[in-house]
Chains A and B, each alone.
Chain A
Amino acid sequence: MCASLAYVARLRKDSSEEDGNLVIQMDRTIDESAAWEPKIIAFLCTWCSYAGADLAGVSRFQYPPSIRIVKVPCSSRISANLILDALRAGADGVLVSGCHPGDCHFISGNYYARRRFALLKNLLEFVGIEPGRINFSWVSAAEGERFSQIVREVTERVTKLGPASRLVKKPLPEITAYSTHSGAYQRTLEY
């Protein structure tokens, strides 16, 4: 979870107040609730969507830094196992993007993928995963600006839904004790 630091400056009167001295106390608190940013795993097909994202970068189109890109050869490489794995790992959202129908580099991959994704999306919403957690799009290699729009839209959707909690696999406490993540190590020392 992204934590932002908020400096809280408090004016506090010291015991030596009679002298008219004011002691300014600066407290540094970690405000975890403010400015949470979602983590969205974006599976992009190499030939169209990844190139489109690259074009967005080269053309300096701004989009929120919420996506983590995984380059795959084709959108049909993405199976339901992978999407669920992203959700289990704690991703707040998933974006899968491929070539436009008819333009797949492998001719028909995105056609099969389209059927698969439609069914998966409906099934996940049926069992209660919030609509908007997983998203699909077709982005071609020339659509840099559109890619940035799509990322903006997905980030908005996922931010509104809040951090993911329904299909997240939390690691066992014993494992976090040995992880290199210092925060977790510090916490377990308290027991």
Chain B
Amino acid sequence: MRLRGKKVLLLGSGGLTIGQAGEFDYSGAQAIKALKEMGAEVILINPNIAAVQTDPGFADQVYFWPVTPEFVERILIEKKPDAIVGGFGGQTALNCLIQLEEQGILARHGVENWGTPVATLQLTEDRELFASKMREIGVPVPPSGSAQTVDGALTIAGRIGYPVIARAAYALGGLGSGFAHGPEQLTAIVTQALAFSPQVLIEKSLRGWKELEYEVMRDAFGNAITICNMENFDPLGIHTGDSIVVAPSQTLSDEEYQQLRDASLRIVNSLGVIGECNVQWAHSPDGLEMYVIEVNARLSRSSALASKATGYPIAFIAAQVVSGLSLLEIRNPMTGTTCALFEPAMDYLVMKIPRWDLTKFVGAHRGLGSAMKSVGEVMAIGRSLPEALQKGMRMVTENAWGLLGSNAFAEYDEQRLEAALEEPTDQRIFAVIEALRRGWEVSRIHSLTRIDSWFLARIQEISEMEALLRKKGLNLDADTLRRAKCLGFSDAQIAASLSSDRWDEHKVRAMRLKSGIRPVAKRIDTTAAEYASPSNYFYLTYGADHPEEMGDEKPAKHNATVLVLGGGTYRIGTSVEFDWCAVSAARELRDLGIRSVIINCNPETVSTDFNTSDRLYFEELSLERILDIRDEEMGPDVSEISVMTAMGGQQPNRLALPLERAGLQLLGHSGRTIEMAENRSLFAQALDEMGVAQPLWTEARSESEISQFVEKCGFPLLVRPSFVLSGAAMNVAFDAEALAHYLRAARAASPDHPVVLSRFHRGMREVEVDAVCSQGKIIACVVSEHIENAGVHSGDATVRIPPSGIGTGARARVLEVSRQIAQKIGLNGPANFQFLVSEQGKSAQVLVIECNARAARSFPFSSKTVGQNLARLATRVVAAPESMSLQGGELRAPDGRFAVKAAMFSFARLPGADPVLGVEMASTGEVGCFGRDEAEALRLAFEASGLKRPRKGILISAGREEQKMAFLPVLGVLRSWKEQGMKIYATPGTAQFLLTQGLSDVETAAWEEGQGAQTWREVLRKKQVDLVINIPKNFRRKELSLGREIRRTAIAQGQTLITNEEKAVAFLGAWGADFLTKMKE
């Protein structure tokens, strides 16, 4: 308890974006645990309402505020902490820390910086300073130069010679970076980079080189260790966040490994890093030449991966180290006996596979390069590379076929396939397997992809086995089956490869079990079995035949075991909020004395922390694997196993029915209930039976049914497949052509389940209810309301509690209908309902959109607003109903608390994608903030989500007439901003409207040149505005393409963009006249 009496402020990372995701929830949560164990009082600033670390029970106090110097200073004044810790909140926290130091705020308030000194951070962030420091200590850096202008960049490139790579300074995840083969390309990249960064670095391109990372920890006494090294499967040139990564390195000799290790240690020692540091290297494939690429002196995505890969709790130890402990004094919690000053040994390998959702973004380019595009990742563990790779590809692709599942390249001719191999994209690995299927030599594929031949030879083994299975057909023998399993084939993949209808997943499994072919569980212990370890961290493998002895864990009080399924990879629609749910469930089970076993495969999570559950399987969320784990867990001490599928989002939810059919008991909703809720057709029928109103609908079975329905309702129509999360393949069709297109997509997304077509209502409010049910009865629920009208996906919407936009009548009706549905389909556990509401006078029309028989994205927001953890409550209800009262109803926010949740978007990272909100989700994260009134909550939430208050000017393009009218209530804000010297620009129609409404001096921004006024393009490029409001008139493709250029330009220029009228009005309204008057006083 050496920190007793110390008060520490920890900086969080805010909402999730591409390049800064759940890994910082994991690192922050561990830091809080470590600091508290040492006796410190921990204050956290982080507006990420869905994160585990912002839960009660972690930090002593949480500020849901934007992580900016202004807000941090308020805390410094209010709470007077002794120290500030900035290494656990990603680039956001680091940038904030640097600004706090530069503005003299830390010194002014006498607060100590724990961790790497700010001067070092500045040095690692300034690429030129960094390069000269490296040269000073004899570490080679790629030939380079930095420039502040496009011309300067071109001169440097001329000196180094093309191809070159351009990178923006002070940017996370390689934002504004790219390769240039000539001046034209370079001009384009540098122009974009200089839009938000003052400096750009041009360096020699090392395409085709090996890329390696070393995770280093150093304490204040100069002890430094490399915890893990990692090798990119893809050669240098693809951002490491977008690369398949393997740990430990596979193709380095001891000489090379140690040379990079030595140099990594030399770097952190010379920089005086305290805590964690990531060092990225380029290594020649033809010799000992190496260059350091960059250094991140903080916890990172890679350190989270290294932590899960080795079992060494990096963030936990790093927090002890920054508080002043020596690594020698710290024990390794995985063994309990050995010292933290050591480097983990692995007796397995891990592969990280990135998850891209590029198809979710209309128009987004699929090429990969030096700017990161992935939204999540999985980690797969195996004792051979094919095993780990195949596992990983299944984990990340959401279907059973994994690496073998894409036929995208089957039709390609030789030339096109060669091109697909040469060009790195999110699909390239499938092109590799296609080439191998065609019998292309490894050397040929290597010369196209520059992927190391050793990796390609491993994929070739997989491809050869696939071919062998195809030949076997019905005559599958046990030996071949065993070898296929060792190469990572799933039962379903084997069945499919056998190319005979007589096989299916279940038959393969039956044959496998009959032949005694089972995976064995192996422990991850950080020491590769050199010492005995009580670690509870496991994986399954076919690359071994002796199961681990499990005897040395602490026995649970009950003999019941609950498998809690996590959410798998983060992706659009499944993010840290479902990790929060799974962690809540495991913690509640622990409190109830029930043994919890978490199954998850996402290294960026708290649920996969070694001390979250009683046992952790870092494994696939698949029917096959969960049944394997059930078999593994069944034993003399465990007589009863059940599984919770409702806490991890849609991926585990889809497994509920198959698991129940396979004889595993579901804890919570029955399979029948889940089916009733998820099957759009059954659910709609049930509503009809109950006489509950819903939008007109039909199950889109035949063409004639569809055309009849179109005749009855007209357009627009909503197309929805079943059992999908975040509106995948959900679309609004405005005409027959679009309808046909979307129907095809929906059927492809969920081929085994019905597609439903329903009337799309515009102009209605959208209301959600998060609920906990017991045997058909709602025992707790929270009502929230979208700021945007219906039509914006609930994951992208701005949400408020209390639902101030609907009357008491509507609210009562919403609750009543929820209760009816709960009873009708027998909900038992967490659930979420979504409604359309319109009110005229006192009469309210309430239409049901859907019901999810599982925890929902909004659970953490609802829970933290009302002060009651719905996921924990739902767990208790299903696991120990006898222990609690099953009475209750609507939970409300405490008086005087207003909550707003706002979505975070990452459009800046997705060139080509149209940043417009629709029924398919596009946000990557969210923030939630509280205020004493709604306006305050809105202001905080918008600022925390990156919608900054404009200072220079606004460009408005307000859409249709009625959309323009929506702005009437906030004209006062525009007026007072204008009085303060802000410029207001508007496109011609909107300008006319604003002038008519009495707003003088609105400048017109012409659509095209030659129309008198300056064009919107010039307004944006000259940075005359810092806020762009662009409301599309409708979602027809033609209309979208008109505004798209404005939206993309605004994003590229780093300007705040709002594309929805209700959101724009709320944004402006939050800065309402009375608030502004107060500010002036």
A and B part of one assembly: no
> Which positions in B face A, CB cutoff 8 Å?
none
> Which positions in A face B, CB cutoff 8 Å?
none
